[in-house]
Chains A and B, each alone.
Chain A
Amino acid sequence: MINWGSIVVELTEQERIRYDRQMLLRGWGEEAQRKVKAARVAIAGVGGLGSPVALYLAAAGVGFMRVIDHDIVNLSNLNRQIAHWGTDLGRPKVESAAMKLTQLNPEVKVDAVNEAITLDAAKDLFKDVHIVLDCLDSLGARMIVNGECVRRGMPFIYTAVYGMEGYMTSIVPGKGPCLRCIYPHDSPASSKFPVLGATAGVMGCLEATEALKYLTGIGSLAIGRLVIYDGERMQFESVALKRSPTCSVCRFA
């Protein structure tokens, strides 16, 4: 949980109206909303998962969002990457996303970073945020996020989709397994895989929910637990995950 100390941000009258419905949530109120306003998040990847994650976090009033991606919008993205529209073809994804996010909520500050996630970039991009949302599309890039987050003791939410299936777990270094404990072996990413847009929507919403819970301290996170969504059966399940005592990344965390 974040130690917010004395939060200096205040809500404006407009913000009180905008966030009225979520401030009615049990335990939320003005205090949690001020935390959300003071929060800084990094969203790694604004594709299928990153689109709903970014849109819902912006709608919820997260004060600072760094969106990171190095791709441009392609026609084959549009079945699922709902932050990008037909009018954005050929534009950098971060530019397209930033426009939607600031139109949805002008109170939110968006830092659009048109870069790939590399070891060096991650060090810089994650240094001033509270949490990272892993919305990437390869295990290799996700492991870079994992390594940097474990090094910083910073939580991140892993979410992945395939077809009508989705997988999500919250990784809080020192409190549960890291991504390397879960996937000890590298495996090459398949460049093209089946996915229904609504699946990315379901999982992105779970990811955004976990992030807001972490930022506000409300509820309990899916730490040490892989949440599996099976859309074909319309079923959610949860599987226990353990830290690996020999993990090459987090055994000393």
Chain B
Amino acid sequence: MPENMRLKVEVRLFADLREVAGAGSVLLDFGRPPTVGDVIDATIAKFPALAQSLKPNGKFNHKYKVLVGQSVVPPEGFAQNAGPRVALLPPVSGG
């Protein structure tokens, strides 16, 4: 596939996810438009240490929020297309 046809998705990681991954963001490359679920799986493939937080027992840990663009997408919406910007956010309570 020509380079300009490939789809790039920037995934940003916040708080403890950023610490565990050792990076605040990653640019993922897809050959076809990925779903939100695809992006989560590709992020875990890139940073396997995130599996324990995001998908312990193989199921998405619903305490994390998935932001697509400027909206929150609940697990029921993980089959939708992800778009170019995804963020993964844990609940933050530090004061």
* Given A194-B19, A239-B67: A162 and B92 interface contact (C-beta under 8 Å): yes
Please determine whether A239 and B71 come into contact, CB atoms closer than 8 angstroms: yes
Per-position binary interface string of chain A over residues 171-193, scored 1 when its CB falls under 8 Å from any chain B CB and 0 otherwise = 00000000000011101011001
Task: Name A's B-contacting residues (CB within 8 A).
Answer: 45, 47-50, 134-139, 142, 159-163, 165, 167, 183-185, 187, 189-190, 193-195, 200, 228, 230, 232-233, 237-242
A183-B91, A238-B70 are known; give 13 further A-B pairs, CB within 8 A.
A45-B95, A48-B95, A49-B95, A160-B95, A162-B15, A162-B16, A162-B94, A167-B92, A184-B62, A230-B14, A237-B70, A239-B71, A242-B72
| 9 pairs from A and B in contact (CB 8 Å cutoff) | A48-B94, A134-B95, A136-B95, A138-B93, A162-B92, A165-B14, A183-B63, A190-B16, A240-B72
How far, in whole Å, are A134 and B14 apart by their CA atoms in the complex?
21
Please determine whether A163 and B19 come into contact, CB atoms closer than 8 angstroms: yes
Task: Name B's A-contacting residues (CB within 8 A).
Answer: 14-16, 18-19, 24, 62-63, 67, 70-72, 87, 89-95
Specify which chain A residues have a CB less than 8 angstroms from the CB of B14 in the assembled complex. 162, 165, 228, 230
Q: How many Cβ-Cβ contacts under 8 Å join chain A to chain B?
A: 72
Q: Is the interface of B mostly helix, strand, loop or mixed?
A: loop
Cβ distance A242 to chain B, nearest Cβ, rounded Å: 7
How far, in whole Å, are A240 and B73 apart by their CA atoms in the complex?
10
Please determine whether B95 and A240 come into contact, CB atoms closer than 8 angstroms: no
Identity of the chain A residue whose Cβ is nearest the Cβ of B18 in the assembled complex: A163
The 3 closest A-B pairs by CB, nearest first: A137-B95, A139-B93, A162-B15
How far, in whole Å, are A242 and B18 apart by their CA atoms in the complex?
25
Cβ distance B81 to chain A, nearest Cβ, rounded Å: 18
How far, in whole Å, are A200 and B95 apart by their CA atoms in the complex?
7
Cβ distance B62 to chain A, nearest Cβ, rounded Å: 6
Cβ distance B26 to chain A, nearest Cβ, rounded Å: 14
* Given A187-B63, A194-B19, A238-B70: A161 and B91 interface contact (C-beta under 8 Å): no
How far, in whole Å, are A230 and B62 apart by their CA atoms in the complex?
23
Please determine whether B24 and A160 come into contact, CB atoms closer than 8 angstroms: no
How far, in whole Å, are A193 and B71 apart by their CA atoms in the complex?
27
Specify which chain A residues have a CB less than 8 angstroms from the CB of B62 in the assembled complex. 184-185
How far, in whole Å, are A135 and B94 apart by their CA atoms in the complex?
8
Q: Of residues B19, B72, B92, B94, which shows the largest number of chain A Cβ atoms within 10 Å of its Cβ? A: B94
Specify which chain B residues have a CB less than 8 angstroms from the CB of A183 in the assembled complex. 63, 91
Please determine whether A136 and B72 come into contact, CB atoms closer than 8 angstroms: no
Specify which chain B residues have a CB less than 8 angstroms from the CB of A134 in the assembled complex. 95
